[in-house]
Every structure is written in structure tokens, then in C-alpha cells.
Amino acid sequence: MVGVEDIVVQPPHSVTWRIHVDRAMWVGGVRGLMLQALHPLAMRGVWQNSDFRTDPFGRLRRTADFVGRVTYGSPEEADEVGRRVRGIHKALRIKDPDTGTTHRVDDPELLLWVHCAEVISYLETARRGGLRVTDRQADRYLAEQRRSAAYVGLHPEDVPGSVAEMDAYFAAMRPSLALTPEAASAVRFLMWPRLPDDLRYLSFGKPLYFPFGALCYLTLPGWARRMYGALPEVPAPAVTAALTAFRFAANQLPEKVHHLAFMPSTRAMLAASRVRLTEAGYDTSQGLRGLTDPRRWPPGVLP
């Protein structure tokens, strides 16, 4: 008999599924990129080896594709995207203009920073936006995300697996963070991005994007906002209310409409995942989000 672990990497009753299927992930994704940019070497790696300056939204979509495949994809799909990402990173180098030193993009310290900034942003924006996640579930989420870290080449035991461990990691990292010119430019791009060619039909709505970009910025930790100084401070209750409203509105979008923001290959992967789950007896009539309803699972599965 085929088990759910043979169908998708993270089963529907995992905390990862519950968080990643929530639409607050869009805020978390952009926030994660903003947080990542404060590591000077990591930001220079992006600046020197990608098209971030002309298509920052494209990087978000590629990140969404990776996260989707190591969540909803089959184990084979996750292994394949992991090999592809590791292969790309292995071939890339970063030139530090301050020291003249060349660094590998797949340096474990850089990979760990990118991973931690990403997953803590997903967790914190979802919780702040109103998704009910207990402290125990938050720890479980970070422990589950060690598996995602392994796909990019990290050793799971080296990755923070609880909120306390993640807090200690960021406290240790803060002295090495800085606002570089690249980071300052990056946060401006992320608040006013250039749309990729296949989404140009949405250009009429671009002025509406700035409030979203500002919301992503305002959900950053206070120390990160103080480093950027890009926008005036807004009272925390107002930011939480805006995030809650965004999450509520985004979660009302039909799945087919929501998935239009993804790359075609991501949409195809999600459709295949839904077919596999249906064939295995799961009720997918409400889409992948419908599987997050705790009432569908035995008591105690999501404690």
C-alpha cells in the first residue's frame, strides 16, 4: 500500500503543510528576502550571480518553486530540485570587493543564513497574521524544515530545530550583519519590483503592490528595520491588523487564481500532487488548502 510519504515530501498533517499552504507565505517570502539581504556576503552573492536587479519578483517565484517541491512534491521531485540547486550553487563564486577574497556560494554558513532567514519569516508572518500555531508546533515546524535544509546541502543537525535555537542563531549573527548599498537597493526593489514578462498583464495593478511591499518590510524584526531605515515606523498593532487583513483576503482567493502567480512548472507540480493525493484516497475537492482542516485528521495529529 502506498503511504503518504511516497506521495509528498511533507504529509498534509505536518506543521510544514499547514504553514506553507497559507497565503501569508507571500509576505513571509518577501520578508525573508529582505532579511537575507542584511548579510553582506550573501547579498553580494545574489547581486553578482542572479538577475535580481532586473527581476526581484522572479527570485521570489523560484524560491516558491523550491519550497513547493520540497513540501508538496514527490520525494523524487524534491531530490531532483535539490540536486539542481546544489549543482548551481557549487559552480558559483562570490568576489568580496572589501577583501578581494573569493567565496563559494555553497559555503555552509551562507546556506544556513539563507535557510534560517527564510523559514523564520514563514513562521513568524503566519503566526502574526492569525494562523493558530502553538509553541510546540512552531518548534516542530523548524525541526521539519531541517529536511528542506538538507536538499540545499546542509547537515540537518547543524540547522536550528526549535524557536529557542533559532533565536540564539540570530542573536549570534547580528554583529556580522550590515546595511550594504546592495541591501539598500534590494529592499527598494522588493517594495517596487519589476514584473516578469509573463506577468506584465498585471502591470495595471502595480501601484497596489507598494502597500504589500511595505507590509513585508514592516513585519521585519525591529532591529532589521532600524538597520534599513527605509520607511517610517508604524505602530505594531496596525501592522498586525494589516497582515491579518491581507492573510484573510488572500486565503479567500480560489486556488486556480492564486496559483497564477507561480511559474508554469510550479503549477504543473502542484496539479500533479493533487492528482496523486486524490488517487490515494484524499479529499482534494477543496484544493490543497482543504487538507489543512484539522477536522479531517484523527484527534491528536495536530496537537
Mean pLDDT of the chain: 89
Q: What is the pLDDT of residue 114?
A: 97
What would the pLDDT profile of 118-127 be if each residue is shown by its tens digit? 999 999 999 9
Q: How confident is the model at residue 201 (pLDDT cuts 50, 70, 90)?
A: low
pLDDT value at 24 more than 70: yes
Contact 119, 169 (CB under 8 A): no
Q: How far apart are CA 216 and CA 219, in angstroms?
A: 5
Per mean pLDDT, which of 55-59, 126-130, 189-193 is the most reliable?
A: 126-130
Number of C-beta neighbours around residue 105 at 10 A: 20
Q: How confident is the model at residue 35 (pLDDT cuts 50, 70, 90)?
A: very high
Q: Say which residue the cell 498586525 belongs to.
A: 240
Q: How confident is the model at residue 233 (pLDDT cuts 50, 70, 90)?
A: very high
With a CB cutoff of 8 Å and minimum separation 6, the contacts of 172 are: none
Q: What is the pLDDT of residue 288?
A: 87
pLDDT value at 54 more than 90: no
Q: What is the pLDDT of residue 99?
A: 85
pLDDT value at 300 more than 60: no
221 grid coordinates: 524584526
Q: How confident is the model at residue 226 (pLDDT cuts 50, 70, 90)?
A: very high
What would the pLDDT profile of 257-291 be if each residue is shown by its tens digit? 899 889 999 999 999 999 999 888 888 888 888 76
What would the pLDDT profile of 240-266 be if each residue is shown by its tens digit? 999 999 999 999 999 988 998 899 999
Arithmetic mean of pLDDT, 171-183: 96
User: Higher pLDDT residue, 67 or 206?
Assistant: 67
With a CB cutoff of 8 Å and minimum separation 6, the contacts of 243 are: 24, 27, 125, 128, 129, 215, 219
Q: Which residue, 123, 219, 198, is CA-closest to 166?
A: 123
Quote the crossing angle between the two packed helices 181-191 and 40-49, to the nearest 10°: 70
Contact 97, 28 (CB under 8 A): no
Q: Which residue, 122, 218, 228, is CA-closest to 182?
A: 228
Q: What is the pLDDT of residue 291?
A: 63
- pTM (2 decimals)? 0.90
Arithmetic mean of pLDDT, 70-91: 95
Q: What is the pLDDT of residue 199?
A: 57
